[in-house]
Amino acid sequence: MAQKITIEPVTRVEGHGKVTIHLDDNHQVTESRLHIVEFRGFERFVCGRPFWEAPVLVQRLCGICPVSHHLAAAKAMDMLVGAGDGNGLTPVAEKMRRLMHYGQIFQSHVLHFFHLASPDLLFGIDADPAQRNVIGVIMEHTELAKQAVLMRKYGQEIIAATAGKKIHGTGAVPGGINKNLSLEDRDAFLNGINGNPDLSADKMIKWAEAAIALLLDYHSSHTEFLDGFAAFPSNHLSLVRPDGALDLYHGVIRAVDPEGKRIVNDVDSRDYLEVVEEEVRSWSYMKFPYIKELGPKKGWYRVGPLARLNVCDFIPSPKAQAAFEQFRAYTKGKPNSMSMHYHWARLIETLHAAEVMKELLLDPDLQGTDLVTKGERCGEGIGLLEAPRGTLFHHYQVNEQDLITMCNLIVSTTNNNEPMNRAVNAAAVAQMTGKAEITEPMMNAVEVAIRAYDPCLSCATHAMGQMPLEVTLYDAAGAVLDQQRKGM
Amino acid sequence: MSETIETSSEIITLTIDGQEIQAAAGQTILQAAQKNGIYIPTLCALHATKENGLESDIAPGTCRICTVKVNGRTMAACTTPVAQGFVVENDTEELNDLRKTIVELLFVEGNHFCPSCEKSGSCDLQALAYRYQMLSPRFRYAFSSREVNAESPKLLFDRNRCILCRRCVLAIRTEDGKQLFGFTKRGDKSGIIMDEELVKNISEEQAQQAMHICPVGAIIRKEKGFDTPFGQRKYDQNPIGSETVCTTCNGEKS
């Protein structure tokens, strides 16, 4: 008898989602879907507001990566006020924004790996849920947990010093930034916040290197799991610096196919509508973007750390570059399509962010006083950047009275919608085919596949396994055959 | 109802919260309190300073946040002249709860989205909400449908945030004394209208003054959003009510 399994909500991700897995009469998985059940509406309710509010308003999309939305919107506003497209700001404004952004990348990646993902890796995806959570990590791996807390704190303090607050700051303004970095802050970040050497730039680099070593050590003993779990070929898309370097703040749009062939060749970010289109499906509030030229069937792509390392040619910081070369060598230079390797790529980016932050802190431009640039006003602004979870598109049109008339946001997780659905299906096929009984580890396996993408479905974090989880079996007629609940 | 205050040299003695103070005849309770370093909250009344460019204090008496008890009766401190022997209650649990209620009503009546407001951190209404520890309003939101007027090249008038305090009506005028803002309609239909022709030609200084005088984020200088970083906004260092009050200027422009 055909069945439908529902996992709702998905836990240890940012926001609320629901998974349904459809089984046929022989308990074979026929279809899997990740439903995004929240409606946000930011694109509509920013309309009618003055354009300079946008960077502050749209960052309320998220409490984990508000900086990314703040900066993407600010980049769009730069265009509006005639401050160029990622190249017209004063050095202090551009570098302060970059410092803010790399602080954001650093803290978000650390949060994801240690807080959300590490319980699965350290204890196993089938471990007791009572242990498989961040409290379990603190109890069993105390030193690692302390490092994670301090690393995240460092990134958050960088954000506070550049944006004014750790969450929902106001640092970036149309055409620039509203403050520079004080010498006192600079010295604290270089030598240790509040005199604590564990909160210094060098310690962040050292701990980021250690995190990569930890993952590689885990990989050596769990190769089959990390390489095979929810792995499938895909296209990959990200911004890169025009010379091919990894650049998380600004660049041109590039995409490669599963073989590494360039399918979007360094397109100006202002021309994003020539590259991507979005499809709407009836069962989800989240759209499905795809590369326009390839169409929805073949044009879907992954974004985020894995995609970025598949797309770029090199990383412009030495330690991360060395780690990148090892990463690339593992797939012999071809794009890496193993979903669980998102974690590896994420940690390489964490190291890169730590290196970039130190480099920026040593740059005297951060103490400059020329904060804002303006030029000829226009009616349209487009801002793209690489958020922790992937490419972020912000597009606004403004009328002559300075009020926003159109807004289009393609957020990172939207870009990963199709891949996450495929990852769910791959996990479901592996875990549930032929099984008549649902177990907690099966459900968690599906979540692990989603979690690898670090999806941000909204602003809520459910980190301690306390969120209710419901799995329901339906027959073909929709009658409930079985129901499992936890945390309810 | 007085809008500007005339004072004389006659000395009046009164008490506020048990403290005996002296004031000039013709001063309001609010002015007497300010002169003696006693805080009474205001949203519509405004003391003239160099910063706000006012020639004299204004006291429209519209918001009633300054309500005190005078010899047991509730009165607006900004419109009630002092009199010999007044016993004024000000900083009491009952009155502060009443003030909190007024703040809550102002929040539910408009559409104040503080997080995206340029005036956040420098907003008197928001600062009073913090002072009276408003966590969430006791009343249902009205979700009023309000317009944003962005026709002026220099000013944005966001009616969603307007609390009808009347400061702009009284304070913002052209050099030849014409009003730029005025009241329209009555009761819950009341609103502020702008003389669009006059506002179109407003000077840079007047635009800045209009934004400064507005106690909330209803009048915003265009294209200047969020250029004051956290830590440097009006109430970042000291909450409202903790400012040092001039006790030696005798109410003159400081």
Stretch 75-104 of chain A: residues touching chain B, C-beta under 8 Å: 81
In chain B, the largest separation of any two C-alpha atoms, in whole Å, equals 52
Q: Which residues of A touch B222 (CB under 8 A)?
A: 50, 402
Mean pLDDT of A32-40: 71
Torsion of CA B156, B159, B160, B161, to 10 degrees: 80
Q: Quick one: average pLDDT of A453-461?
A: 54
CA-to-CA separations, A162 to A67, A329, A408, in angstroms, rounded: 10, 37, 27
Q: In this model, does residue A465 exceed pLDDT 50?
A: no
Give the β-pairing of B181-184 and B191-194. Answer: antiparallel
With CB atoms and an 8 Å threshold, state whether A174 touches B116.
no
Number of other CB atoms surrounding residue A71 within 10 Å: 28
pLDDT tens for each residue of B2-55: 445 556 678 999 999 999 999 999 999 999 999 999 999 999 999 999 888 898
Interface check for B224 against chain A (CB to CB < 8 A): the answer is: yes
Q: What 3-state class would DSSP assign to B121? A: coil
The count of other CB atoms within 10 Å of the CB of residue B238 is 11
8 Å CB contact of B225 and A52 = yes
Residue A484 has pLDDT above 70, yes or no: no
The rounded percent of chain B whose pLDDT value lies above 70 is 92
Q: Is A302 helix (H, G, I), strand (E, B) or coil?
A: strand
State both tokens at A477.
């007629």
Q: Give the 3-state secondary structure of residue A22.
A: strand
Indicate whether A290 pLDDT > 60: yes
Cβ B155 vs Cβ B121: under 8 Å:
no
Residue A18 confidence (pLDDT): 73
pLDDT tens-digit profile of A46-58? 999 999 999 999 9
Q: What is the phi-psi region of residue B145: left when phi exceeds 0, alpha when psi lies from -120 to 50, beta otherwise?
A: beta
**What is the model's pLDDT at position A19?**
77
Name the amino acid, one letter, at A60. Answer: R
Note the helical H segments in A117-262.
Answer: 118-123, 134-140, 142-163, 183-191, 201-221, 223-228
CB contact under 8 A, B115 and A168: yes
Q: What pLDDT sits at residue A37?
A: 62
For residue A9, cis peptide bond before it (omega within 30 degrees of 0): yes
What does the alpha-carbon distance between residue A428 and residue A20 come to, in Å, rounded to a whole number?
Answer: 10
Give the pTM. Answer: 0.90
The kind and range of the H/E element at A35 are: strand A29-36
Contact A56/B148, CB-based, under 8 Å? no
What does DSSP assign to residue A265? E
Strands A301-302 and A235-240: parallel
Compare all CA atoms of chain A with the CA of B229 and give the residue at the minimum distance.
A178
d(CA A135, CA A123): 12
Do residues A469 and A443 lie in contact, with contact meaning Cβ atoms separated by under 8 Å?
Answer: yes
Within 13 Å of residue A189, how many CA atoms lie on the same side as its CB? 31
Q: Is the pLDDT of residue B252 over 60?
A: no
Nearest-10 Cα torsion for A263, A268, A273, A279: 40
Q: Which residue on chain B is closest to A162 by alpha carbon?
A: B229
Q: Evaluate whether B75 touches B64 at the Cβ level (below 8 Å).
A: no
Can you name the residues that pair with B58 across neighbouring β-strands? B46
Mutate to test the interface with B, among A52, A162, A185, A404 (most CBs of B within 10 A): A52
Alpha-carbon distance A360 to B22, whole Å? 59
pLDDT digits (tens, 9 = 90+) for A191-209: 999 999 999 999 999 999 9
Give the Å distances, CA to CA, from A82 to A175, A361, A377, A400, A467. Answer: 8, 28, 5, 14, 47
Specify the higher pLDDT residue, A37 or A81. A81
3-state secondary structure of A76: helix
Residue A307, min C-alpha distance to chain B (Å): 33
Contact of A64 with A108, CB cutoff 8 Å: yes
What is the token pair recorded at A18? 């629901």
Q: In whole angstroms, how large is the CA radius of gyration of chain A?
A: 22
Q: Are B148 and B61 in contact (CB under 8 A)?
A: no
Q: Which residue has the tokens 């009048």?
A: B219
Would you call B222 and A402 a contact, using CB atoms and an 8 Å cutoff?
A: yes
Please answer whether residues B230 and B236 qualify as being in contact, where contact means their C-beta atoms are separated by less than 8 angstroms: yes
Query: Which DSSP category does A339 fall into?
Result: G
* pLDDT above 90: percentage of residues in chain A: 63
Go through chain B and tell me how many residues it has: 254
Report pLDDT for A378.
94
Is the CB of B36 inside 8 Å of chain A's CB atoms? no
- Closest by Cβ to B226, choosing from A48, A49, A173: A173
Report the DSSP beta bridge partners of residue B12. Answer: B23
- In A166-195, the residues whose Cβ lies within 8 Å of chain B are 168-171, 173-174, 178-179
- Kindly give, in sequence order, each residue whose CB lies less than 8 Å from that of residue A470, ignoring residues fewer than 6 positions away: A6, A7, A8, A483, A484, A485, A488
Q: What is the CB neighbour count within 10 angstroms for residue A295?
A: 12
* Choice among A392-396, B98-102, B180-184, B224-228 with the minimum mean pLDDT: B224-228
Alpha-carbon span A488 to A446, nearest angstrom: 20
When mean pLDDT is compared across A110-124, A237-251, A261-275, B240-254, the lowest value belongs to B240-254
Sign, CA dihedral B93-B99-B102-B108, equals negative
Lowest mean pLDDT among A442-451, B52-61, B122-131: A442-451
Residue B150 Cα, gap to closest chain A Cα (Å): 5
CA distances from A260 to A42, A307, A334, B8, B198 (A): 35, 11, 6, 87, 63
Q: How sure is the predictor about A463, in pLDDT bands with cuts at 50, 70 and 90?
A: very low
Q: What pLDDT does A5 receive?
A: 61
Confidence of residue A462 (pLDDT cuts 50, 70, 90): very low
Q: Is B231 part of the contact surface with chain A (CB cutoff 8 Å)?
A: yes
Say if residues A412 and A456 touch (Cβ distance below 8 Å). Answer: yes
Angle, helix A66-80 to helix A91-110, in steps of 10 degrees: 160
Reported ipTM: the value is: 0.89
Strand extents, DSSP E, A364-466: 380-387, 390-398, 404-410
User: d(Cα A230, Cα A426) in Å, to the nearest integer?
Assistant: 5
**Do residues A456 and A59 make contact, with C-beta atoms less than 8 angstroms apart?**
no
The pLDDT of residue B2 is 42
Measured CA to CA, the distance from residue A20 to residue A432 in angstroms comes to: 12
A42 band by pLDDT with thresholds 50, 70 and 90: confident
Cβ-defined contact of A49 to B151 (cutoff 8 Å): no
Tell me the mean pLDDT in the region A111-122: 84
B196 phi and psi angles, rounded to 5 deg: -65, -35
Contact criterion met (CB below 8 Å) for A428 and A434: no
Give the three-state DSSP class for A469. Answer: strand
∠A83-A41-A387 over CA atoms, to 5°?
50
- The residues, any chain, with a CB within 8 Å of residue A453's CB and separated by 6 or more, are A302, A304, A339, A342, A389, A413, A416, A419, A420, A423
For residues B43 and B128, the answer to whether their CB atoms sit within 8 Å is yes
Closest by CA to A357, choosing from A103, A91, A152, is: A103
Q: Which residue has the tokens 């870009």?
A: A415
Chain B residues 182-221 within an 8 A CB cutoff of chain A = 220
Q: Which helix (H) or strand (E) holds B31?
A: helix B29-35
Give pLDDT, residue A116. Answer: 81
Question: What confidence score (pLDDT) does residue B27 get?
Answer: 95
Q: Alpha helices, DSSP H only, in A31-90? A: 42-45, 54-57, 66-80
pLDDT at res. A478: 56
Least confident piece of the model among A229-238, A444-453, B156-165:
A444-453
Other CB atoms within 10 Å distance of the CB of residue A395: 21
Chain B residues closer than 8 Å to A53 by CB: 116-118, 225
Are B229 and A403 an interchain contact pair (Cβ–Cβ within 8 Å)?
A: no
The whole-angstrom separation of Cα A405 and Cα A403 is 6
pLDDT of residue A41: 79
